[in-house]
Amino acid sequence: MELIKNLEWRYATKKFDSTKKVTETDLKKIMDAVRLSASSYGLQAYKILLIENPEVRKKLQEVSWDQPQITDSSHLFVFCNYNQVDNSVIDTYIDLTATTKGIDIAYLQQFADFMKSSLVDQTNENKKIWTSKQTYIALANLLSAAAELRIDTCPMEGFDAAAYNEILGLNEKGLSAAVIAAVGYRSNEDETQFTAKVRKPLDLLFERV
């Protein structure tokens, strides 16, 4: 199973080679893998910003504990969750579903009503928690897809989300920075690549019931 080999190969890269860039072809493959991620109801209540501008990345580094991955990696993905899930979000998804599947939108009305009854009346805080969790599913696909391409990654929560929101103008867009991922190629000087991967053995991690 190549996936297992790829996951054994990957690790959270701490030092990237800033001279190496991910090609547009490989970048598109990673983006497609993220696009195809599972999400609750299929809503994909998030948006991903691909940060390439070096000046913007320098500002983000300053509010990310000055971690070098922010500026030295080839690309920086910022996963942003919706702050609100209202009727318009669900209606847009229902329209897309009807168009994609070539069916009358009337057949989807019951599904739309169910989603609205489940989500719209939730508190704003619960909505933010729920949508932020969705971004991590997409992040997992990014990590796996990049590993298959032998592209290094570093998923990161070590940043000031409020500062990210301000720098990237996310508040005005109804978004919040949830988690980020630096993507690129490991530096030969990154000592982390030579250390053993530490994971719980199967019998401690899993329990059959």
Q: What is the pLDDT of residues 120-175, one digit of tens each?
A: 999 999 999 999 999 999 999 999 999 999 999 999 999 999 999 999 999 999 99
Are 58 and 142 members of one domain? yes
**pLDDT at residue number 1:** 84
Same-domain status, 107 and 129: no
Cα distances (angstroms) measured from residue 82 to each of 8, 51, 62: 33, 18, 24
Are 94 and 24 part of one and the same domain?
no
| Count of the separate structural domains present in the chain | 2
Q: Which of 65, 94, 121 is the last residue of a domain?
A: 121
- pLDDT of amino acid 87: 96
Give tens-digit pLDDT for 90-107.
999 999 999 999 999 999
Strands (E), 26-137: 46-51, 75-82
Q: What is the mean pLDDT of residues 80-87?
A: 96
Q: What is the pLDDT of residues 22-79, one digit of tens each?
A: 999 999 999 999 999 999 999 999 999 999 999 999 999 999 999 999 999 999 999 9
Q: Are residues 52 and 149 in the same domain?
A: yes
* Residues of the domain holding 11: 2-83+123-205
Q: What's residue 99's pLDDT? A: 98
95 and 151 both lie in a single domain: no
Is the pTM for the entire model greater than 0.95?
yes
Beta-strand (E) ranges in 36-189? 46-51, 75-82, 152-156, 175-184
**Number of helices (H), then strands (E), in the chain:** 9, 4
Within this chain, do residues 77 and 91 fall inside the same structural domain, yes or no?
no
Q: Which amino acid is at 161?
A: A
Instruction: Give the residue from 121, 139, 172 where a domain finishes.
Output: 121
